[in-house]
Amino acid sequence: MQIIKTFVQLFIFIFPIGAFAQSTYLNQGSKDEHFIDRLEIKQQRNTDLNFSTLRPFNRKYIVREATYLDSARMGYKDSTGVDKYKEWTDLDLTSVDEYNIQSLLMNNSEWVSTSKADFLSKKPVIKTFYKTKANMLEVNTKDFFLAVNPILQIHQAIEPGYDQGIFLNSRGVSVRGLLAKKVGFSSWFTDNQERGPQFFQHQVSEYRAVPGVGFYKQFKKTGVDYFDARGYVTFNAAKYIDFQLGYDKNFIGNGYRSLFLSDWGNSYLFAKINTKFWKVNYQNIFMELMPQFSKTFGDTLLDRKYAAMHHLSMNVTKWLNIGLFEGIVFGRKDHFDFQYLNPIIFYRHVEGTIGSPDNALAGIDFKANVAHRVQLYGQLLLDEFILSEIKNNPTSWVNKFGIQAGFKYVDAFGIKNLDLQGEVNRVRPFTYSHRDTIANYTHYNQPLAHPLGANFNELIGIIHYQPVPKLIIDAKVIYYNKGVDTANANFGGNIFKDYQTRSGVNDYAVGNGAKATAFNGTLLISYELRNNLFLDVSLQNRLYKIANQTGQSNTTLVTAGIRLNMFKRQYNF
């Protein structure tokens, strides 16, 4: 905490806050995220959206693009009678797209400069609440914007063969605002009681953390009780440099999963610098994390570890974006190394300078938008890279890397508003792990990147269909096989283990160990009763088994519920 405070004070001193507009970011799981992907693919050109590899999305930038498209739809012309937005008229926007544009603008109204008459409610509550359709309480003056909204998710489920009810009760509030459009702030808080399916309960028991959250208390013997509190402030240091300081999550990638940095696990304290100019976007994240620990009773101060990450991306052409990633987890408990504050130098050089004690990773990603209908994307992560070993000994344990390849296909087969996504992820044994278990690629007993850790192959298929504006149908299938460590052998699947506990040097292939396979299929139907208020009905089936073992897990869930201003809770592992 103290090092980040010092870091903030230093940069405020060097780069005083100027008169540059600053923005907050979309909340995790926002309904606008999928639509932003559609807009990017359909435009197939250099825009702010082409930097969507980095999430959460900046509200100011997505509103700017949506406003352009909305203006094109309305056929606006400049003073000379020329169609100013002609280049966007061939995007083949559907009526559902137009509805989603208006919804996106309404949910981010602080950055909308055109008419907002359609955003107003016909019947405010007690003349004070819900004056606008998007926000329970909204203040929008020249130098101050404030939006306050309730958060609610109540889901009940049945798991055949299990005599206890499955449920999630979440209540909370979100607040976001702007001060003179120079300083932004956001806060999110929920109080949650949850009894997930049995495989979820097993995950909590094994890793001593609630997936996606972390700290918890026991609730009704088999349930969990936890808070999810997040918040941050944003400001500008210069015209092209944004700062964000807070406790939240980040995501680097274009896929459903990320091999670099995922928002699947717990939130963390971070300082982020984002520099955007010309065709380049450069992001630095400095993080305070927690190494794995054993849950104890009573109040205990948990240890800390630290991480720093860079991501440099460039729009090489109007349709192709390429990025470079590097990250390092400091393998020194409760000790920050100031050399890693350098936002430019390659971390591998720093690591070598100080004796190579830490866990350094590097990677490359790409995103290509093709024919206004398809996006191809991928990631290559390198934890170790010895070319001679890859050529001559491909099963050596030091060949630690992961690869992702995927596609998105909008308006698939000519069916409007039918979007498909396919993705393959493969991560070799011992990737993300380290000889110093403090420096493994984890936070609060959960992976920082892919939830399966290492030593797995994964296939994901997603169908997203919005036949009418208020109805969304999502179908998702996840299949994976993973090599599971046994009691007497480390096969590289558990990234929390010291990789020096392996039994040999060679013969490590993906899937070695006790072979586990899983099929996880979900069908979710959501109807939007009013803005950001959804009725959900879902069916999920998960089959998990380990070869040559008698027991297997076969889970079926039938779920119904309601949620307001909150992402749908998913059991996607």
DSSP state of 488: T
* 510: containing domain: 2-293+301-564
- Taking the alpha carbons of 307, 429, 389, 378 in that order, is the dihedral positive or negative? negative
Q: How far apart are CA 247 and CA 244, in angstroms?
A: 10
- DSSP 3-state helix, strand, coil percentages of the chain (rounded to 5)? 20, 45, 40
Residue 573 placed within a domain:
no
Residue 569 placed within a domain:
no
Residue 570 placed within a domain:
no
Q: How far apart are CA 35 and CA 545, in angstroms?
A: 36
Here the CATH number for the domain that contains residue 313 is 2.40.160.130
* 481, 516 contact by CB (below 8 A): yes
Number of domains in the chain: 1
Q: How far apart are CA 516 and CA 481, in angstroms?
A: 5
Residue 376 placed within a domain:
yes
Q: Which amino acid is at 252?
A: I
Residue 571 placed within a domain:
no
* 225, 219 contact by CB (below 8 A): yes
Query: pLDDT per position in the chain (573 positions), as tens?
Result: 455 555 544 444 444 444 467 889 999 999 999 999 999 999 887 677 788 899 999 999 999 988 877 776 555 555 565 555 555 555 788 999 999 999 999 999 999 988 899 999 988 887 889 999 999 999 999 899 999 999 999 999 999 999 999 999 999 999 999 999 899 999 999 999 999 999 999 999 999 999 999 889 999 889 999 999 999 999 988 888 999 999 999 999 999 999 999 999 999 999 999 999 999 999 999 999 999 887 655 667 788 999 999 999 999 999 999 999 999 998 677 777 667 777 776 655 555 555 557 888 999 999 999 999 999 999 999 998 777 888 889 899 999 999 999 999 999 999 999 999 999 999 999 999 998 888 999 999 999 999 999 999 999 999 999 999 999 999 999 999 999 998 789 999 999 999 999 988 988 999 999 999 999 999 999 999 999 999 999 999 999 999 887 668 899 999 999 999 999 999 999
| pTM of structure | 0.92
Three-class SS of residue 417?
A: coil
Strand partners, 223: 219
Residue 449: CB atoms within 10 Å: 28
State the pairing for strand pair 251-252/241-248: unpaired
User: Which DSSP string corresponds to 136-185?
Assistant: SEEEE-SSEEEEEEEEEEEEEEE-TT--S-EEEEEEEEEEEEEETTTEEE
Residue 187 placed within a domain:
yes
Residue 210 placed within a domain:
yes
Contacts of 215 (CB under 8 A, 6+ apart): 209, 226, 227, 266, 444
Tokens 């088994």 map to which residue?
545
pLDDT at 238: 80
Three-class SS of residue 99?
A: helix
pLDDT at 65: 87
Tokens of 299: 């109040």
* 485, 464 contact by CB (below 8 A): no
Q: How far apart are CA 118 and CA 84, in angstroms?
A: 24
pLDDT at 72: 63
pLDDT at 21: 74
pLDDT at 50: 80
Residue 518 placed within a domain:
yes
Strand partners, 175: 148, 187
User: Which DSSP string corresponds to 353-391?
Assistant: HTTS-SEEEEEEEEEEEETTTEEEEEEEEES---HHHHH
